[in-house]
Amino acid sequence: MGTHNVATALRRHAAERPDAPAIEFPSKSYRTDAPHWDVWTYAELDRQSDAYAYGFVAHGVRPGDRTLMLVKPSLDFYAVLFGLFKVGAVPVLLDPGMGIPNLLKCIERNQPRVVIAMSLVHAVRTFVRKPFASAEVLVTAGSRWFWGGTTLTKCHQPSEQPFELVMREATDDAAILFTSGSTGTAKGVASKQAMFASQVDTLQKMFDFQPGQRDMQAFAAFAIFDICLGMTSVIPSMNLSKPATAKPEDIVAAITHGKVDVAFGSPIVWQNASRYCLDKGITLPELRTLLTVGAPIPAYLHRRFRQILPEGAQVFTPYGATEAMPISWVGTDEILGGCWDRTAAGHGTCVGPIAPGATADIIAVTDDPIPTWSTDLVLPPHTVGEVVVAGDMVSPEYKNAPEANATAKIVDGDRVRHRMGDLGYLDENGRLWFCGRKAHRLQTASGMVPAVPVEGVFNEHPDVFRTALVGLGPSGREVPVLCVEMEPGKAWSSEVEAALVALAADTEHAGLVKRFLHHPGFPTDARHNSKIRREDLKQWAAGAAADLAKEAA
């Protein structure tokens, strides 16, 4: 018998601090002008998830069963999730933002035996059968119509006796989490039992998280970490799958009414919330640690929050990916203490020292598979290459994706290293610097050009919200073109373009950009609304450049 189960932490906190709040979720009566949350304590979450665990077993759910969960976030969502953990089943968590065609492809590839989903999903399943061919246990969250199976309500079977956790091996799957698909097809990442435990432990060490702390959590899946850490997860009133649509006033309400000292959200959430706070003269005196992932954030966002947060508070940007998280972290003090000067000079974005238990190396850039690891692959400091990571927080595999495993995984004895697909370098202090996605590198006549170091120069213009470097033309002869998105209320002009050219004059990227193109609003990923969909932008730039050429002719 194994020794691991994600729900062990919930059971422990429920025993030690039964009345401590675990999850606070916006109530149905929530209004922006009268915010209100429903609360479940650790004891209540433990009881409710026990009830689901008993019901799932009664309806045929077994340890190791891949279980597709397509249920709207709610208090009940977390009870269902921890009920599955208790049974030893493997939740398959998909991001609805990836769109129905991609959802169906991901479902088919991962062959779930159990489907717990909203009525709409089951309606689709009755007409689009192939992706669900492996499903044997069907559970409807909501009204069940003409299809078979049971309902989530019938799976809720309370008992006086605590459910006995099904213990699993360290190498067994705990969950299957999907990548955002921002640079290709979304892939199912096997989150192993030991991997999940390592992530919780590493996050605790990095940020000194303690039971009883309160976290405003704007990313539904990350509330699992809050619960395992013994913290209170305060969910803001927002569409958790579309962070760009979150109202700043609702984010601020969750922070202030929730009396949180930690807050987690996508960069776009903090862009909008910080503008709102400065416009309204709002400060957040209790918030000590603000976390954001999904994309690097600019220095001005750190500077904004120095006006909003109390002295000593920091904005942290942990670096990692669904496959490997966390790998490094960096905060306001380090960024504004000298790192950003290097970013503005075109040397990339510092993502900080390597996390406890993780390792990071830089290897030469190649798209070819690397079956086995060798120290001969490692490049010296300050040499840009591909980032390769290892550690217990790193997933060893994608599920049912042999080609992706071949290109992203490197066998190193009894462990597997992961190729992040990111370009970067290590400095003389062992800090990792991010230089962009490998797939987004330009291949010009003068050689490879990483995108992020170049963009760092131009992002310094005060009227520019963000930029994206794309290459037009064939690989090996790509012409660098900079797409520019302006700050709200700021206009693009020839004067802005001239100022951008001047910003690069004293850097190694002087004269690199051959054309500047104004874009009204970059396309971004669905999960964080922060990662730029550069392939779409590249197509747009090609069309815009062609139109300008025709006008000039």
Eight-state DSSP code of residue 187: -
At 350, give phi and psi (nearest 5°): -75, 125
Q: Bridge partners of 387?
A: 362
* Nearest in space to 443 (alpha carbons), one of 421, 464, 469: 469
pLDDT for position 529: 66
Distance CA(76)–CA(78), nearest Å, equals 5
The DSSP symbol for 164 reads P
Question: Could you count the other beta carbons within 10 Å of the beta carbon of residue 395?
Answer: 24
CB 243 within 8 A of CB 269: yes
Question: CA end-to-end span of the chain, whole Å?
Answer: 75
Torsion of CA 511, 512, 518, 523, to 10 degrees: -160
For the chain, residues with pLDDT lower than 50 are none
Q: How many CB atoms lie within 10 A of CB 257?
A: 14
Length of the chain measured in residues: 553
pLDDT score for 179: 80
Q: Is 118 strand, coil or helix?
A: strand
Q: How many Cβ atoms from other residues are within 10 Å of residue 378's Cβ? A: 15
CA dihedral 207→336→522→538, nearest 10 degrees, is: -100
Return d(Cα 97, Cα 180) in angstroms, integer: 9
Read off the DSSP letter of residue 398: B
For the chain, what is the radius of gyration of the CA atoms? Answer: 24
280 burial level (CB within 10 Å; 0-12, 13-18, 19+): exposed
Give tens-digit pLDDT for 197-226: 999 999 999 999 999 999 999 999 999 999
Share of the chain above pLDDT 90, in %: 87
Tell me how crowded residue 508 is: count the other CB atoms within 10 A of its CB: 12
pLDDT value at residue 527: 61
- Crossing angle of the two packed helices 451-458 and 494-504, in degrees rounded to 10: 120
Measured N-to-C along each axis, helices 299-308 and 267-280 cross at an angle, to the nearest 10 degrees, of 50
pLDDT digits (tens, 9 = 90+) for 473-519: 999 999 999 999 999 999 999 999 999 999 999 999 999 999 999 99
Phi, psi of 233 (to 5 degrees): -100, 110
Q: What local confidence, expressed as pLDDT, does residue 182 receive?
A: 57
Cβ-contact 64, 90 below 8 angstroms: yes
The whole-number pLDDT of residue 531 equals 82
3-class state of residue 166 by DSSP = coil
